[in-house]
Amino acid sequence: MNKAFPKDFLWGAATSAYQVEGAAYEDGKKPSQQDVINKDNYRIYGFATADVASDQYHHYKEDVAMMKEMGFTCYRFSIAWSRVFPDGVGEVNEKGIQYYRDLIHELKDNGIEPIITLYHYDCPWALVEKYGGWLDRQIVKDFEYYARYVINEFKNDVKYWTTINEQSIIVQFWTQKCYIPEDLQDNDQLRYQINHHMNLAHAIACKMVHELVPGGLAGAALGYAPIYPLTSRPEDAMAAQNAQALQNDYYTDIYFKGIYNKAAQHYLEEHGLAPKIEEGDMELIASGTSDFLALNYYYSGCACSMEDDGSVKLHWAGVNREGKKGATSTLEQQPGFYQMCKNPNLDTTDWDWAIDPVGMEYMLRDLYNRYNKPLMITENGLGAYDTLTEDEKIHDDYRIDYLKKHIAAMKKAMDYGVEMIAYCPWSSIDLLSTSNGVKKRYGFVYVDRTDDDPKECRRIRKDSFYWYKKVIASNGEEL
């Protein structure tokens, strides 16, 4: 028999600081690496900068009121490190931390549980200039300084803490997520070194939550795409297992077992890509246990076998910058291990992301069976072009269809025993995409702006806004 969603299940949505806040240089905030990266994206591709984004910094009361209207019981957002510590460390920026106090109190006054992400791609630029940001091990100490301050500040208001957003995606798409000087961009080992530093930072943050927050729970937010084999050929099944090891288990084994996945580590060592691990690192990682795993699920992956005959070099996935199906330049190839391919059974978004609600159930059941820890969805959604009609409506039935099928799949996983804490689709409101400007929209609320012109960032409710409100009011019964 199908069970109902538990009464205390959290319904909400997610955003991240630089993608939604704007006020990039206001009230003492200094730039993060994303302010710099997105200025380049504007120059090269014409995508919006992070200067204004959706201007949530000035609209947060209106935005929280809309969350309340939809019935949210949680909101996942991130803290901008360089708003709190403009130079990364040192003096706190009183006005910056006050913004988060105000936001959190506004949420709590409206019965909305804050779910904080400590780090979402936005390393303070001062630390990038000082020592290269995550490239240098010193960042772990500086992150600890920042995280301790924030966790202490909100320990009585915030129960759920996600540490670092999407280490797996940072490894795969590192130059969009980290500022990497051009002369280092060919050094693929650094991707895994950055990830190792993040593993240390993640473990420290988990330990700190346990130490400082009464009843506090901590976990990473991981970008996760389950991998299918292209065919039932044993070689393809093996390739899918390899891709699963390198793209997914490499992270989840750290969070829950405190070890690097053996197959992935073997492959990385063979290819000179493994991170340098110092004495005591693995003990620290193992001691920073996660209470849950937060998952950002948009698509599944598909892999097939790939010989290593020496003719092809390791090749990372490209990004679809055009928003036209088929415009993704390249797919990942790890010679001798696997190559990623298009799944012929699935339709895609205009940005080539495979639409796969079954993948949601597949991922949740697999992870829960292997690690036996509660899960939450901290991102899931459809990036699409929306049209504002003359009578100021947005008929986003395609988004409703996507979300409906994914919630149904999550529910099915729960019927099979998976313990879920929350569902936070991406995103509560339109925001700056990490790779495609503001024309690729995700929100329940339309933000009236273009890539070139932030206008007034007026908020307009989409059809999906009213649909999600009904879903929440019925505790997921009415999809």
- Please identify every residue annotated as catalytic: 166, 379
Residues 5-24 that bind ligand BG6 (CB under 6 A): 16, 19
Q: Which residues contact 374 (CB under 8 A, 6 or more apart)?
A: 291, 292, 419, 420, 421
Of residues 97, 139, 140, 169, which one binds ligand BG6 by CB under 6 A? 169
Nearer to ligand BG6, 15 or 265 (CB): 15
CA atoms within 13 A on the CB side of 101: 10
Instruction: Supply the minimum distance, in Å, between the C-beta of residue 224 and ligand BG6.
Output: 10
Alpha-helical runs (H) found in 110-188: 125-131, 138-153, 167-172, 174-177
**DSSP strands (E only) in 126-246:** 160-165, 217-223, 227-229
Binding pattern for the stretch 269-298 against ligand BG6, x by CB under 6 A and - elsewhere: ---------------------------x--
Instruction: Supply the minimum distance, in Å, between the C-beta of residue 276 and ligand BG6.
Output: 27
Q: Which stretch binds ligand BG6 (CB under 6 A): 95-103, 163-171, 178-186, 276-284?
A: 163-171
Q: Which H or E element spans position 409?
A: helix 397-415
Nearer to ligand BG6, 56 or 436 (CB): 436
CA distance 346 to 22: 36
Instruction: Supply the minimum distance, in Å, between the C-beta of residue 6 and ligand BG6.
Output: 26
Q: Nearest 5°: CA angle at 389, between 383 and 393?
A: 75
Instruction: Supply the minimum distance, in Å, between the C-beta of residue 436 and ligand BG6.
Output: 6
CA distance 371 to 369: 6
Instruction: Supply the minimum distance, in Å, between the C-beta of residue 472 and ligand BG6.
Output: 22
Q: Nearest 5°: CA angle at 196, between 190 and 197?
A: 95
Nearer to ligand BG6, 166 or 236 (CB): 166
Of residues 113, 122, 166, 253, which one binds ligand BG6 by CB under 6 A? 166
Nearer to ligand BG6, 189 or 435 (CB): 435
Nearer to ligand BG6, 77 or 467 (CB): 77
247 binds ligand BG6 (CB under 6 A): no
Residues 345-384 that bind ligand BG6 (CB under 6 A): 379, 383
Residues 57-96 that bind ligand BG6 (CB under 6 A): none
What is the number of other CB atoms lying within 10 angstroms of the CB of residue 4? 12
Backbone angles phi, psi at 272, to 5 degrees: 65, 25
* Amino acid type, 198: M
Backbone angles phi, psi at 229, to 5 degrees: -80, 145
Say if CB 57 and CB 99 are below 8 A apart: yes
What is the number of the residue whose Cβ is closest to ligand BG6? 433
Instruction: Supply the minimum distance, in Å, between the C-beta of residue 221 and ligand BG6.
Output: 7
Nearest residue to 321 (alpha-carbon basis) of 430, 451, 179: 451
Instruction: Supply the minimum distance, in Å, between the C-beta of residue 433 and ligand BG6.
Output: 3
Of residues 34, 56, 73, 165, which one binds ligand BG6 by CB under 6 A? 165
Nearer to ligand BG6, 228 or 426 (CB): 426
Nearer to ligand BG6, 124 or 229 (CB): 124
Q: Nearest 5°: CA angle at 451, between 450 and 452?
A: 90
* Amino acid type, 29: K
Binding pattern for the stretch 103-142 against ligand BG6, x by CB under 6 A and - elsewhere: ----------------------------------------
Length, in residues, of the chain: 479
CA atoms within 13 A on the CB side of 449: 29
Distances (CA, A) of 104 to 99, 112, 331, 342, 428: 9, 9, 41, 42, 16
Sign (positive or negative) of CA dihedral 245, 250, 251, 255: positive
Nearer to ligand BG6, 54 or 93 (CB): 54
Instruction: Supply the minimum distance, in Å, between the C-beta of residue 383 and ligand BG6.
Output: 5
Q: Which stretch binds ligand BG6 (CB under 6 A): 50-58, 165-173, 283-291, 401-409?
A: 165-173
Q: Environment class of residue 198 by beta-carbon count within 10 Å: exposed (0-12), middle (13-18) or buried (19+)?
A: buried
Residues 222-241 that bind ligand BG6 (CB under 6 A): 223
Residues 396-435 that bind ligand BG6 (CB under 6 A): 426, 433-435
Residues that bind ligand BG6 (CB under 6 A): 16, 19, 165-166, 169, 223, 296, 379, 383, 426, 433-436, 440
